[in-house]
Structure formats: C-alpha cells, structure tokens
Amino acid sequence: MNKRPFVSWLLLAIQLLVFVVMESVGSTSDTQTLILFGAKYAPLLALGQWWRLILPIFIHIGLSHLIINSLTLFFLGPMVERITGHFKFLLIYLAAGVMGNALSYQFSPSVSAGASTSLFGLFAVFIALAILYPKNHYFQVLGKQYRTLIIVNIILNVFSSGVDLWGHVGGMLGGMLFTFVIMAGQRDSFNWGHRALALLGYGAILAFILMNHGIYNLLI
C-alpha cells in the first residue's frame, strides 16, 4: 500500500481552495456567502438539501477557523490514514462529518461549517482502536490520550460561544462507530455482529434525524 497520506493532502487542498474561492466571491464570515456555498442551514436542510450534511466539512468561517482546522488535519490526518489505509480513512472522515452536521442540525439552528466535525471523528478513531485492539500498547496509549483530549475539548465547548458543540459530539460519535464498522480488530474482541450493530447504530441515528425533520420524505 502507498503509505503517503495523499487523501489527507487532498482534503487539505480542497478546504484551502474552497476558502480562496469563497473569499473571492464574498467573505467566509458572511452568512449569505456561507449559505450559498453549502454551510449547514436548517431551513434549507429541511427542504431536502441533503448535501448540506457534507459540504460544511470543507467550508470554514474566517481565516483563524481555517488555520486551526488545517493544522489539525495536517498533523492528525496522515497519522490516522497510515493506520487505516486511504479508502477507510476517507470513509471515516466523511461519515464523522455527516454525523456531526446531522446532530448539529438536530440541536442547533444556527448556520455552521468546518472540518472540526470530521476532526473530532479522527480523535475518536483512537478510542475505537483501543477497544478493537486491547493488546496493542500503542493503541492503548493513544486511546487514553485522545479520550482526555476529547473530554477537555467538550468541556471547553460547553463554556464557549460560537462553537458547534453538537457538531463535535456528532463527529466523535460518527468517527467511533464507523471505525468499529470498517476496522477488523482482533477476533476475540470484536466480531461481525458487533460491526453490524455499529453500522445499524450509525444508520439509525441518521435516519431518526432525517425523519424527525421530514427530510426523509422529501428524499424519497
């Protein structure tokens, strides 16, 4: 397998390009520009614009937001990608982002965007790997470190304004569940039944939110 983390680099390039394009059109701090480019916006999601669960992953609100998330992706992305492989990394990244935006839609009406939904999913990958590989010392250490990091971040989010707490919680949940689904683990610790249950859990949460807001009926 090619160990170069080209998916991480590609994701980074996309969000940088999107930022430049948005700034050339208007401003990434302008609500109308954010909505135009696909930020999470509850009224339009309710009309069936499902892509607003995906596109916000690549949109950032202001330069500082972009820099923080880009640096996190630059250092964390390759680390996870080398463990999971390219395709699985992409699946986890997108699945975490979608779940994060879905929970944000469920509990927060404000316009929101950012890769942090997916990045919290990458944090949670290490917690899932610690469960999947209980005899792997490396994963156990990383699992404890990132569990602490998530707890500290969530506590800070609770007391911070302008932070999408539910987006972060959803991203963490989505990243963990999808890691359970697509990473094999040790046979004595995680079997196909558990993986199916994790996939069912992910799908059930997403379906509940979509049906709760009537989006499901619009899609079909």
Look at residue 189 and tell me if it is in a domain. yes
CB within 8 A of 6, min separation 6: which ones?
86
- In this prediction, residue 66 carries a pLDDT of 98
- In this prediction, residue 194 carries a pLDDT of 85
The residue among 219, 220, 214 whose CA lies nearest residue 43 is 214
Percent of the chain with pLDDT over 90: 80
Indicate which residue of 168, 189, 194, 213 is catalytic: 168
Q: Is 40 helix (H, G, I), strand (E, B) or coil?
A: strand
Identify whether 29 is a catalytic site residue: no
Look at residue 1 and tell me if it is in a domain. no
Look at residue 101 and tell me if it is in a domain. yes
Distance CA 198, CA 104 (A): 21
φ and ψ at residue 121, rounded to 5 degrees? -65, -35
Task: Check which CATH number belongs to the domain holding 143 and give it.
Answer: 1.20.1540.10
Total number of domains constituting the chain: 1
- Please state the rounded mean pLDDT for residues 7-33: 97
Look at residue 154 and tell me if it is in a domain. yes
The residue among 83, 92, 112 whose CA lies nearest residue 11 is 92
Indicate which residue of 8, 70, 104, 116 is catalytic: 116
Look at residue 73 and tell me if it is in a domain. yes
Q: How confident is the model at residue 212 (pLDDT cuts 50, 70, 90)?
A: confident
Q: How confident is the model at residue 176 (pLDDT cuts 50, 70, 90)?
A: very high
The residue among 212, 114, 134, 131 whose CA lies nearest residue 177 is 131
Place of tokens 């983390």: 5
Dump pLDDT digits (tens) for 76-106: 999 999 999 999 999 999 999 999 999 999 9
- In this prediction, residue 215 carries a pLDDT of 65
- Domain of residue 208 covers 6-219
Identify whether 64 is a catalytic site residue: no
